[in-house]
């Protein structure tokens, strides 16, 4: 059934992969984005569709949010400072204002019958032992993890909502990001021929950006079964150590050299395995492998250079 769908942060990495799926199903899509990353050009192809609308706005502007959210059926909330590097750069106060208070503005602008879908993160788990399920106590360590955890908790206190704790994203999107692990290492393998790796034994779990987009479509189609729940979203087949990711990349770029003596540190302490049993039981499975993502990244990297704005930093 055709719905009116409102996407905050829709000009970003996930949003620009999600929009064509929603338009392809005949939904009316309104993107609400402040364009702080100067990424509005990634939306140009969508203006050809009469069901697409863009509003330049900030989630901190509650009056404007309420105005444009009125009459929408589904709200997909993606707008945030994403990742611990940009949250560290902007600091706790700004990160809290955007990630937490901005989310609260979205919640406060909702009507009871509007379905809220929230893009959360596996960084909420922090440093844990064993396999993480949706019932694992959250222990966020970075500014990013802490603000997204608080935002998720506020979302889930509101009836008619669903939150997704995503694995580490990878893959090509119209608004590409090269600060994500698989994307970054593939870029360096092609352009520089080497990369320094810290904490190579740390385990991560991964998901392609198009599978992230697909789960929002899946939730819209399965609202009654999924409402008022949190779901881990990723693949049990893609729990890899950072070293294992490097070796997968080496299969595609044999001449690359990876130096595993790096002394950096992951502030999120992402070193765990995650279970996706809960969402798999409903019939959703992430389908795109890291090998497939690397292959498309290799082709994409050939036409871009490092001075392009594909990192989540503000300049």
The pLDDT tens digits for 216-227 are 999 999 999 999
Average pLDDT on 279-294 reads: 97
Backbone angles phi, psi at 304, to 5 degrees: -125, 160
Give the tokens for residue 179: 């600060």
Q: Which domains does the chain have, with CATH numbers?
A: 4-169+208-233 (3.40.50.720)
Out of 54-63, 107-116, 192-201, pick the least confident: 192-201
Q: Which of 209-213, 273-277, 307-311 has the lowest mean pLDDT?
A: 307-311
pTM: 0.94
Query: What pLDDT does 307 receive?
Result: 60
Residues facing residue 205 across a β-bridge: 239
Residue 128 pLDDT: 78
pLDDT of residue 315: 38
Q: In what order do the strands lie in the sheet with 161-166?
A: 52-56, 28-33, 4-8, 74-77, 115-121, 161-166, 229-233
pLDDT tens readout for residues 109-167: 999 999 999 999 999 998 777 889 999 999 998 999 999 999 999 999 999 999 999 99
Span 71-94, pLDDT tens digits: 999 999 999 999 888 999 999 999
pLDDT score of 23: 98
Provide the token pair at 205: 């779990």
Instruction: Return the residue matching tokens 């402040």.
Output: 34
Could you give the percent of the chain with pLDDT greater than 90?
Answer: 83
Nearest-angstrom CA–CA distance, 278 and 211: 16
Task: Give the mean pLDDT of 185-206.
Answer: 92
Banded pLDDT at 250 (limits 50, 70, 90): very high
Predicted confidence (pLDDT) per residue in 240-249, tens digit: 999 999 999 9
- The two three-digit tokens of residue 165, written as one number: 């704790």
Across the chain, mean pLDDT equals 93
- 11-45 pLDDT, tens per residue? 999 999 999 999 999 999 999 999 998 999 999 99
Q: What is the pLDDT at residue 270?
A: 66
Query: How many Cα atoms sit within 13 Å of 294 on the Cβ side?
Result: 20
């Amino acid at each position: 059934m055709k719905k009116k769908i409102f996407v905050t942060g829709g000009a970003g990495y996930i949003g620009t992969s999600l929009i064509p799926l929603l338009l392809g199903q005949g939904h009316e899509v309104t993107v609400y984005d402040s364009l702080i990353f100067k990424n509005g050009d990634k939306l140009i192809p969508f203006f050809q569709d009469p069901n697409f609308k863009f509003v330049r706005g900030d989630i901190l502007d509650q009056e404007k949010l309420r105005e444009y959210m009125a009459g929408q059926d589904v709200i997909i909330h993606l707008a945030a400072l994403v990742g611990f590097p940009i949250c560290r750069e902007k600091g706790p106060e700004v990160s809290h204002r955007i990630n937490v208070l901005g989310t609260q503005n979205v919640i406060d602008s909702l009507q009871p019958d509007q379905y809220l879908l929230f893009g959360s993160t596996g960084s909420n788990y922090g440093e844990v032992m064993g396999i993480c399920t949706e019932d694992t106590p959250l222990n966020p360590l970075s500014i990013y993890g802490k603000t997204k955890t608080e935002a998720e908790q506020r979302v889930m206190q509101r009836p008619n909502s669903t939150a997704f704790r995503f694995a580490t994203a990878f893959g090509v999107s119209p608004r590409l990001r090269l600060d994500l692990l698989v994307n970054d290492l593939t870029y360096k393998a092609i352009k520089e021929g080497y990369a320094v790796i810290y904490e190579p034994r740390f385990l991560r779990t991964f998901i392609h950006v198009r599978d992230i987009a697909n789960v929002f479509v899946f939730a819209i189609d399965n609202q009654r079964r999924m409402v008022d729940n949190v779901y881990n979203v990723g693949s049990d087949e893609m729990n890899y150590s950072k070293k294992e990711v490097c070796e997968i990349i080496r299969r595609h770029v044999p001449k690359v050299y990876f130096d595993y003596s790096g002394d950096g540190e992951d502030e999120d302490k992402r070193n765990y395995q995650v279970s996706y049993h809960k969402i798999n039981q409903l019939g959703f499975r992430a389908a795109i492998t890291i090998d497939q993502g690397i292959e498309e990244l290799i082709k994409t990297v050939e036409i871009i250079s490092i001075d392009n704005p594909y990192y989540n930093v503000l300049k």
